[in-house]
Amino acid sequence: MSTKFRFAIWAMTGAISLSGCRSAEKIEKPIKPVQVEQAQNYFPGGENSSGERYSANIMPSMQMELAFKNGGYISDIARVSGNRYIQEGDVAAKGTVLARLRKDDFASKISQAEALVAEAQSTTEANKAQLSEAEAAFRQAERDLNRATNLLENRSLTKPEFEGARTKHELAQARVEAVRAQSKVIEAKISGAQAILSEARLAQQDAALRAPFDCYVLKKMIEPGSMVAPGRPVFVVADRSSLKAIFGVPDLTVRNVKIGTQLKFTTEAIPDMEFSGWISRISPAADPKSRAFDVEATIPRPSRELRLGMIASLTLPTGRSSSPVLVVPINAIVRLKQSPEDYAVNVVSDQAGKQVAQQRRVKLGQAFGNMIAVTEGISLGDRVIISGSALIVDGEQVRVIQ
């Protein structure tokens, strides 16, 4: 074998080896970088505290949609300081006319109804006169019939003369009944006309839309001159004599919550002010999603600075020291691959100098902001993966980054 041929074989063999090495390098799986956070203790009410902290939504104690019973054109809207029309966020005292419909439309209906009543009543006197005349004729016919009966018995009156007296009596009686029936028709007509008149007058009163209580204007959906349909809401108002704060508590706490318990509220928006209230309602059933019981607290005579939609903080007395709860970040929770209805976390541990992710089944408790309690499955100080947890395979090597 020549030297040139041997060199060609050696060069080809080397090229194949290098190619194989590169292929091996390409299929080598990279180590996934992950971020971790230790499982830690959390004190729901603060260490050595006799209460638990909650966040509550400030809402109106009573909210109402106001609408006109009858449709029409808006002629005027209430004005406030500065002679401007009332707007959302303004306050109105009970009985304030918030808006008014055009009066002319209702005045014409009242005039028409009054004309109907007058027309019906004008026939009443004539009917009374007719009834008086018919009753007098009937009484005379009745006397004549009695006289004719006596004469017929004494054979002093012929049969045809008696029949004439009886026919006259029957006609007089029929006349009275007809006039009385006409009287009932007239009375019904008068009652109908008076009902129309009362309805027209009531509609005129309803043309003024009044504030049902001391209120805030939450929404205003009309302007002067706009046309409104019957029953369509034109204002949304909220009672300003009190507000309510709504928050949810778990089943272990709700048994300690009592109606009438006095509470103190603070807000980040008004840090230097404290508001007082009392528990006024406790939901009898838990929310099916959050598993929390809604608790409502009433805040009477609130300051104007406390606005609807604010978030208030409160401490709910429990009568016991707050026990620590083991928590992890919510984004560390994943579905268990073998059982999708259960939950798990990926815990990083050192094995033979390598950092390995192990999936552990856990049982979850109450959420505290962006943290959630874990009642079973991990221990204090365990490092749980908080980024890319759903993409980690059980037993996979990982690289912890800051």
Per residue in 15-50, pLDDT (tens digit) is 445 455 454 445 567 888 999 999 999 876 555 455
How far is it, in rounded angstroms, from Cα 345 to Cα 332? 6
Cα 150 from Cα 297, distance rounded (Å): 92
In the chain, list all ranges with CATH 1.10.287.620.
104-206
Average pLDDT, rounded, for the chain? 84
**pLDDT given at position 5:** 47
pLDDT at 246: 95
Instruction: Write down the CATH number for the domain with range 51-61+241-317.
Output: 2.40.30.170
Report the Cα–Cα distance between both ends of the chain, in Å, rounded: 62
Secondary structure (DSSP) of 67-132: E-SS-EEEEEE-EETTTEEP-TT-EE-TT-EEEEE-HHHHHHHHHHHHHHHHHHHHHHHHHHHHHH
Does the domain at residues 30-44+325-400 carry the CATH identifier 2.40.420.20?
A: yes
The pLDDT of residue 140:
87
- Rounded to two decimals, what is the model's pTM? 0.50
Q: Which residues contact 54 (CB under 8 A, 6 or more apart)?
A: 247, 248, 249, 313, 314, 315, 316
Other beta carbons less than 10 A from residue 293's beta carbon: 20
Task: Classify domain 74-101+208-238 at the CATH topology level.
Answer: OB fold (Dihydrolipoamide Acetyltransferase, E2P) (2.40.50)
DSSP state of 393: P
Tell me, which fold does domain 104-206 have in CATH?
A: Helix Hairpins (1.10.287)
Residues forming CATH 2.40.420.20 domain(s) in the chain:
30-44+325-400
Low-confidence ranges of the chain (pLDDT < 70): 1-28, 44-51, 317-322
Q: What is the pLDDT of residue 164?
A: 86
At 104 the pLDDT is 77
- What's 397's DSSP letter? B
Give residue 7's pLDDT: 46
Q: What pLDDT digit, counting tens, does each position of 330-378 carry?
A: 999 998 878 888 999 999 999 988 999 999 999 998 887 788 999 999 9
In the chain, ranges of CATH 2.40.30.170 domains: 51-61+241-317
